[in-house]
Structure 1
Amino acid sequence: MSNFSVDGEILFERVEKALQERLPRMDDQHQTALRLFSGFYEGFADVLIDLYATTLVIFNYHENPVVLRPLLIELQKWFIRQFPWITAVVHKTRSLRNMASRLGVIRFGDEQALATRIVEHGVSYAINLRLNQDASFYLDTRNLRGWLKEHMAGKSVLNTFAYTGSLGAAALAGGARRVVQTDHNPRFLEVARETYRLNGWPVNDEDFLIGDFFKVVDGLKRRKQLFDCVILDPPFFSTGFNGEIFLNEKTLPLLNKVRPLVAHDGVLIVVNNALFMSGTGLIRIFDEISRSGYLWLEEIIPVPEDVTGFPKTRVSPPPVDPSPFNHPTKIAVLRVARKDRAAAS
């Protein structure tokens, strides 16, 4: 360690400490996906490190990323010594305009060595680690995937802003009778299709809707389709054909947009990842919409500790207090009653 700068000493010390908490969660078959270092909360905000099966993904958030590059190369070498089964390492640099750097540069191994699938809760998920500036699979929603697998047997599910479809796939793995995945980007949904193939599930084209969120939702309403579960997981910022979505201001309109698609006694699952929206702010929105008596908060699903940081490793809090949620990714299950059915009963 003596050859490193002060920053390097701090980074290695905190990564080693973080890794000790993750070791019991790593599987012997090297198939899992895990956040090995959550730098935002574990003391080095410019670095985040994820493991996807046998591929390490290192995110460089430094405003001048070249400064960190030599240190991250040394960190990569250290990880490979610790875990010689690592077959590839990808570096993603978020602040560069160069799209190739944002999508990821392979700095160890090659394209063929990149992991293309992971296993979580007994379900296989296809991944494409260089598909987007993230890694195509969100670790913060792991507990939600577990919840969907446990609760969706026999249910119909609509997964909006599906991205690569992992939430819908978890519902299908739990015995959902139908899952509709919708996203504007066909390349994202192709990863979802591959997940279906990995698990031996039929791929029905009518269950993959490519298009703008607003137009797809309006089309489903016109056809009077209802779902036992609707998942609303918009990105922090999304541009659609009919406008722009800013989660801080548009959460309530988005809820009202999809609410008519939820069947009586169904659930609306809301994932809000707006970093600067407080947890109490989101609860106020739920309280406002609950005044009608037809929708109410039933459950909060926590983000796993490898993403939030552990009690022994957490150094910094989020910029805005997410409580009663445990992370800026705020996951809530809302129960829905339909006026027509409630009046009849």
Structure 2
Amino acid sequence: MSSPELAAMLAAAVHARSALFDARHELAFRLLNGFLEGWPKLAIDLYGRTIVLHNYADPPEAGTADVQAAQAWLCERLPWIDSVVVKTRHAATSEEANGVVVFGEAPARKVREHGVWYALDILLNRDASLYLDTRHLREWAVDSLSGKSVLNTFAYTGSLGVAARAGGATRVVHLDLNRRFLNLAKTSYTLNGFPIHKADFQTGDFWTEINRLKRADERFDCVFVDPPIFATTKHGTVDLANNSGRLINKVRPLVNDGGYIVAINNAVFVSGKAYLETLAALCADGYLAIEALLPVPLDFTGYPETLVSQPITDPAPFNHSTKIALLRVRRKA
């Protein structure tokens, strides 16, 4: 495709998202889902006043011209942008994969969503430290978890737990293997004026930490389970493509009667039908029920008027490969 075609596609994508731009430029959302909106080598995110360009081309050099053309177009049409970061998926170095600032100076350090501040470290990892596909889930947490106790497993930078805390949760425990990620969650707490209790930020292996919580007879009203697609330690393996039910069963004993397990499966090659069948099998004993399926925001999936391609695997009845289910727990008497 030519640069004029790219420009036309960007114009359509930005126009479709026009209602999301805020006057103070504090929000974060996806500006372009190139896989489904017509430019598979490119995805573009907005974090406050920072543009993040994801170069998915392989080899990366095949996407350089597109990245440069998109940067020029966006900086001209959105003159308030003060920094641009390029993340290269098939990079030769971790620095290029995590992101390089190609315009401006420091990228945005925070964004505001549903009245809640989230700390950012856009160069922290291959992604940008705040998952844009779970924005509706954060809104649900703000609206639904007042007075509740929450366990945020695979917490990463803690955004789901931060949302729960902002919504009035009485206790939120964050669990992740990486202390650096949890430090960013603490920064989000500071931005929002929440007190930081060291015991609520637990660094450790999911499998051993869940066992520890069980031995301590801990209970929570809501447990978030948002794991990576695949990860293994000496204590256990996460494999969302083949055994996502194991994680849900692992945390079930920690949930109070009437509480929630929020189960997320973002494996691209797991269809929505297959994941729903997994959940249905878990619910067969009558002690777990599917209460709702939460959609991914349209800016992340692409809009009806901008979509030109279909997902690799059909996510229906979900609307994206990030499949989010709210499960209600009933405990045996």
CA–CA separation in structure 2 for the residues paired with 1:13 and 1:65: 23
Which residue matches 1:204? Answer: 197
Q: Secondary structure of the residue that 1:134 maps to in structure 2? A: coil
CA–CA separation in structure 1 for the residues paired with 2:70 and 2:151: 41
Q: Among residues 33, 49, 63, which one is paired with 2:58 in the alignment?
A: 63
1:32–1:52 contact (8 Å) kept in structure 2 = yes
Query: Which runs of 4 or more aligned residues in structure 1 lie more than 4 Å from their structure 2 counterparts after TM superposition?
Result: none
User: Residue 193 in 1 paired to residue 197 in 2?
Assistant: no
Which residue matches 1:259? Answer: 252
- Greater shift in the superposed pair: 287-296 or 49-58: 287-296
CA–CA separation in structure 2 for the residues paired with 1:239 and 1:198: 33
Superposed counterparts of 1:145-184, under 5 Å:
145-184=138-177
Superposed counterparts of 1:1-345, under 5 Å:
6-111=1-106, 114-340=107-333
CA–CA separation in structure 2 for the residues paired with 1:97 and 1:221: 43
- Percent identity, aligned pairs only? 46
* Cα distance, 1:102 vs structure 2: 0.2
CA–CA separation in structure 2 for the residues paired with 1:338 and 1:246: 26
**CA RMSD for the aligned pairs?**
0.9
* Cα distance, 1:67 vs structure 2: 2.0
TM-score, normalised with respect to structure 2:
0.98
CA–CA separation in structure 1 for the residues paired with 2:2 and 2:206: 44
Q: Secondary structure of the residue that 1:248 maps to in structure 2? A: coil
* Cα distance, 1:12 vs structure 2: 2.1
CA–CA separation in structure 1 for the residues paired with 2:199 and 2:302: 40
CA–CA separation in structure 1 for the residues paired with 2:234 and 2:81: 42
TM-score, normalised with respect to structure 1:
0.95
CA–CA separation in structure 1 for the residues paired with 2:331 and 2:85: 48
Q: Secondary structure of the residue that 1:258 maps to in structure 2? A: helix
* Cα distance, 1:177 vs structure 2: 0.3
* Cα distance, 1:238 vs structure 2: 1.9
Q: Secondary structure of the residue that 1:235 maps to in structure 2? A: coil
CA–CA separation in structure 2 for the residues paired with 1:146 and 1:266: 18
1:227-253 CA distances to partner (integer Å, 9 max, x unpaired)? Answer: 000000001122233132110212111
1:133-174 CA distances to partner (integer Å, 9 max, x unpaired)? Answer: 000000000000000110000000000000000000100110
Q: Secondary structure of the residue that 2:243 maps to in structure 1? A: helix
* Cα distance, 1:315 vs structure 2: 1.0
Unaligned 5+ residue runs, structure 2?
A: none
* Cα distance, 1:285 vs structure 2: 1.0
Number of aligned pairs?
333
